[in-house]
Amino acid sequence: MAGGYFYHGEYIVEHKEKYLGSKNPKFRSSWEKRFCFWCDNNDNITKWGYEILDITYFSPIDNKVHRYFPDFYFEAIAPNGKIKKYLVEVKPKKSTEPPKKPKNKNRKAVQRFMEDTENFIINQSKWKSAKKFCTKRGLEFKIITEKDLF
């Protein structure tokens, strides 16, 4: 659904002592809502936030620098007892792979392919910048898909 959100709302944080934001997060998908719930209710998560960090990235589409707000930041107790910090993007698996050329070459299918290709290129630029950002700060960058959530 271009230009809008199919499923969105406000997640009511239950464990406010762990949440890093000043207002309840406004999720943009049922998957983000599910991840909010996981962070909020997981005993190993000591802190979490939604879209609290911004990272600059260069877009090869328009040759400009933009700001990217990864979906989640959280800190978790690792099996060795130490705190591990993560930056997470929640995306459909198909958004993490190059789009496939449409079999049907009608205008709408080709336009959709072009949009998907542009989004894929932009996401790759964002994630490259996020990985550099995380490496410099001792964080781990993860892309979570439906395969991880369900």
User: Which residues carry out catalysis?
Assistant: 32, 71, 91
Does residue 94 lie within any of the structural domains? yes
Q: How confident is the model at residue 119 (pLDDT cuts 50, 70, 90)?
A: very high
In 3D space, the residue among 144, 109, 147 whose CA is nearest the CA of residue 39 turns out to be 144
pTM over 0.85: yes
Mean pLDDT of 71-84: 97
Q: Where are the beta strands (DSSP E) in 8-139?
A: 9-10, 26-27, 45-50, 55-59, 64-68, 72-77, 83-90
Does residue 4 lie within any of the structural domains? no
Does residue 2 lie within any of the structural domains? no
Write down the pLDDT at residue 17: 97
**Which residue type occupies 42?**
N
Does residue 51 lie within any of the structural domains? yes
Write down the pLDDT at residue 4: 53
Look up the CATH number of the domain holding residue 73: 3.40.1350
**Which residue type occupies 60?**
P
Write down the pLDDT at residue 2: 47
Does residue 133 lie within any of the structural domains? yes
Apex 39 CA angle, 37 and 23, nearest 5: 75
Parent domain of 24: 9-149
C-alpha span between 124 and 105 (Å, rounded): 26
Write down the pLDDT at residue 104: 87
The tens digit of pLDDT for each residue in 96-118 reads: 999 999 998 899 999 999 999 99
Does residue 63 lie within any of the structural domains? yes
User: Total structural domains in the chain?
Assistant: 1
Does residue 20 lie within any of the structural domains? yes
Of the listed ranges 3-12, 59-68, 135-144, the least confidently predicted one is 3-12
- Is 38 within 8 Å of 14 (Cβ atoms)? no
Partners of 45 in beta bridges: 76
Does residue 1 lie within any of the structural domains? no
